[in-house]
A and B are shown apart, each in its own frame.
Chain A
Amino acid sequence: MNKLLEMKNITKIFPGVKALDNVTLDLNQGEVHALCGENGAGKSTLMKILSGVHQASEGTIFIEGNQVYLNGTKSAQELGISIIFQEFNLCEHLSISDNIWLDRQPQKFGLINDRKMHKMTSEILKELGISINPKTPVSELSVAQQQMVEIAKAISFDSKILVLDEPTAALTDSEIDSLFEVILKLKRKGVGMFYISHRLEELSRITDRVSIIRDGQYIATKIFKDISIDEIIALMVGRSLEDKYPKFDRIIGETRLYVKEIKNSKIHIKDFEVKSGEILALAGLMDAGRTEFARALFGADSTDIKDVILDGQSVNFAEPEKSIKLGLGYITEDRKKDGLALNMSVEENINLANIPNLTTKGFVSNYKAKENARKYIENIHIKTPSMYQKAGNLSGGNQQKIVLAKWICNDIKVLIFDEPTRGIDVGAKYEVYELMNKLSSENVAIIMISSELPEVLGMSDRILVMQGGQIRGELETKIATQEQILNLAI
């Protein structure tokens, strides 16, 4: 196989932090090369160097044997390197074509030749096996389709090297299937791809080789077939995790929350219950209505019918403010969007849902606020230089722990976890699971929305599968299989 790319002895020093230390990596033509490592290990930094966003402090990069200097994203693009970030860089109000050919639209007499542009787009989309009208505004596309637009854009640059950063994080299973088909097509075309994902299970379907990075250092590169997922995890964390899911015997008690009926334009749920000390998983595809159910229950969205009983008493979760007072908490799916105030401090975020408990006669007790923050930073091991650090500066796993602390410090009876471990690394995942177990031992009833089936099977006691805004079936976790869940979900 032809060697497409070599990154040799790459070191990157940010003020005060050595993000990468002497990392060497290569990529072959037509290869999918997975990059594994915990959050903050340096994967993203490495890929940002490859795409010209950052410049390496030391080290050299060769493309097809020639040394190259990447001093900006433009120079990387010209060399055929494209990166697709987790957050897309698309102009929502513009059409697919306009996005793909942004700033280099085909022209005729100094004006944009729309017809030609749409035709060029159609050809690329056809090549990818996608049938969408190129004139469609990006805002009307699903997340998966937007991602395809990003890939189409990369192809339009004739990219030889493509970096995919967590491409499946927001996709449903069927969408993942079509993404993988596209990846396999690109592979046959000879495109080399770096693939970053926390979902190790899915790697086996596309990956040729896997490299592991830990704490900014290169650990190993292996042929994917020759290594097991457990071995990869062991290399990532530098210790062997006996099990991805901590063993725990939960003691399940009385019903805590009973939803007789809840209904709005998106969902209709009847006879839903979760018991004290139980972890109930809500499985289903992306648009099954699980988050919508959580938001409706929590009072974040309006409902037409809502009949809920908490600890034997009829309650009115009209507003988040009210629900929290009554003992319901909701950890949102997207912590950056609606879980954290990123430019506020760790302390302020931990106490965000706790302000009433810190105030006497309207005044916040600084002492109480700091004590509370310190307690949780220590208890659940939030890694931060200080409680005054801005939440936006921490890694995903630590951010998720802040969100957890926010709810644990309230006297919560029922807690909804919406994708509790999305985008966080294996080590932090384990800690989140342990916290869930600890909460359940304190008689908290937990509703866990998760799109990762191993997580559903590994952590829950009972599984409800949703589809089209309704509950399609119930499974006992002990005897459930991934196939059974999927059959109900589709």
Chain B
Amino acid sequence: MDKLKKFDFQEILNKGLVFGVLIGLVILFAILTGGKFIQPSNLITIVSQIVPYALLGFGMTFILITGGIDLSVGSILGFGGILCAKLIIMGCPIWLAILFSLIAGAGIGFINGYCVTKLAVVPFIVTLGTQFAFRGLTQLIGGGKPVSIQAMEDKNVVNAFIWIGNGEILGIPVPIIIMIITGIILGVILAKTGYGRRIYAVGSNEEASRLSGINVTRTKLIAYTLSGLTSTIAGILLAAKLASAQSNAGTGYELEGIAAAVIGGTSVNGGVGTILGTIIGAFVMGVLRNGLNLLKVNAFIQMIIIGAIIVIGVWYDTKRRNKIKL
């Protein structure tokens, strides 16, 4: 068993590499911006910016590990935000509005899971379809207009809702705290529970898992439901931050979520990935954007750089995986 340590070291090295890249970027930007980059206020800004992407990335990680994909998370984000705002406007207490939105968001994720498992349509197609459908649903609820909380008469309600998106506890913005708590819970589920093991098993070899008594349908359904849930959390936080829910909120965010997961080492072929990796991936994206902004790099060039990083990340991942002879 003496080779055990060596193997673990290899794993740490692989994960450490992305983390190393992140630290390298931070140091690089710190120097290039003359320290502006690592001022606490800027760092908080970065983390606040990545909150929605990380949350979408968490759910995406679960789904990618099962070997699926979820293109509808951006639409679910929009749906969650607008539903919550609409309910509050209609006089529903904030906590109830949030609870109801979360349940609805999870339910909408469940629909994705149902189509993937019971109807056996490939995830790409299912969620491509629901991306449209859920966006339509969102527009329908919002009547094609933003739903503004700010305009409400009861300022107590307005302030309470805004606090969720902008308030601080011990100097840390509430959305960041919520992201961290969600990340820890999902990370523990993935790494430590029987469900976590099942999800990796299903992504590694679905048929072998089924024949080993793993309920593949349930495992996938839970993953899609969780993705619906984290997307809705992101949607509510975004609406609370702006005190207004936009019916086009989250458009294109699914790609940010996928990118965060993939840069963090999650494989689109399934079976591989971690929540910690996804957080690091989201940070890499956030740090790049912010740093390049501070350096006044053209926004179009930023896109090119981020695109290149995604491809390089996956290329490296594939190369690493090919070392296993199958």
Contacts and interface: CB of A to CB of B under 8 A. Distances in A.
Given A342-B204, A392-B325, A298 B211 contact: yes
Contacts of A387: 1, 4
Contacts of B1: 386-387
A113 to B, nearest CB: 37
B193 A344 contact: no
B145 interface: no
A343 B200 CA distance: 10
Contacts of B325: 392-393
A27 B108 CA distance: 66
A170 interface: no
A360 B166 CA distance: 39
Contacts of B204: 341-344
A363 B207 contact: no
B4 A388 contact: yes
A341 B205 contact: yes
Nearest to A328: B213
A362 B4 CA distance: 27
A358 interface: yes
A352 B271 contact: no
A344 B215 contact: no
B324 A352 contact: no
A300 interface: yes
A389 B8 CA distance: 10
A321 B215 contact: yes
Contacts of B3: 385-386, 389
Contacts of A363: 192-194
Given A356-B194, A363-B192, A392 B214 contact: no
B193 A325 contact: no
B210 A300 contact: yes
A355 B211 contact: no
Interface residues of B, number: 31
B167 interface: no
A60 to B, nearest CB: 26
Contacts of A319: 215
B213 to A, nearest CB: 4
A5 interface: no
Interface string B174-205: 00000000000000000011111110110011
Contact of A343 (B197, B211, B215, B321): B321
B201 A344 contact: yes
Interface stretch (A30-38, A332-340, A435-443): A332-340
Contacts of B200: 341, 344, 348
Given A359-B193, A364-B196, A392-B326, A341 B271 contact: yes
A332 B271 contact: no
Nearest to B326: A392
A352 B208 contact: yes
Contacts of B207: 337-338
A406 B272 CA distance: 21
A392 B194 CA distance: 22
Given A356-B194, A364-B194, A321 B7 contact: no
Contacts of B49: none
B272 to A, nearest CB: 7
A167 interface: no
A330 interface: yes
A348 B195 contact: no
Interface string A382-398: 00011111101100000
A330 B207 CA distance: 12
Given A359-B194, A386-B7, A343 B271 contact: yes
B209 interface: yes
A331 B80 CA distance: 46
Nearest to A369: B197
Contact of A338 (B4, B196, B205, B213): B205
A281 interface: no
B239 to A, nearest CB: 32
A324 B324 contact: no
A353 B212 contact: yes
Interface of B: 1, 3-4, 7-8, 192-198, 200-201, 204-205, 207-215, 271-272, 321, 324-326
Given A321-B215, A343-B271, A344-B201, 4 more contacts: A342-B205, A364-B194, A364-B197, A388-B7
Interface of A: 298, 300, 319-321, 323-325, 330, 332, 336-344, 348, 351-353, 355-356, 358-359, 362-364, 385-390, 392-393, 406
Complex A-B, nearest 9 residue pairs according to Cβ-Cβ distance, in ascending order: A341-B204, A324-B213, A359-B194, A353-B212, A338-B207, A386-B4, A385-B3, A341-B205, A352-B212
7 contacts: A341-B205, A342-B324, A342-B326, A344-B204, A363-B194, A387-B1, A393-B325
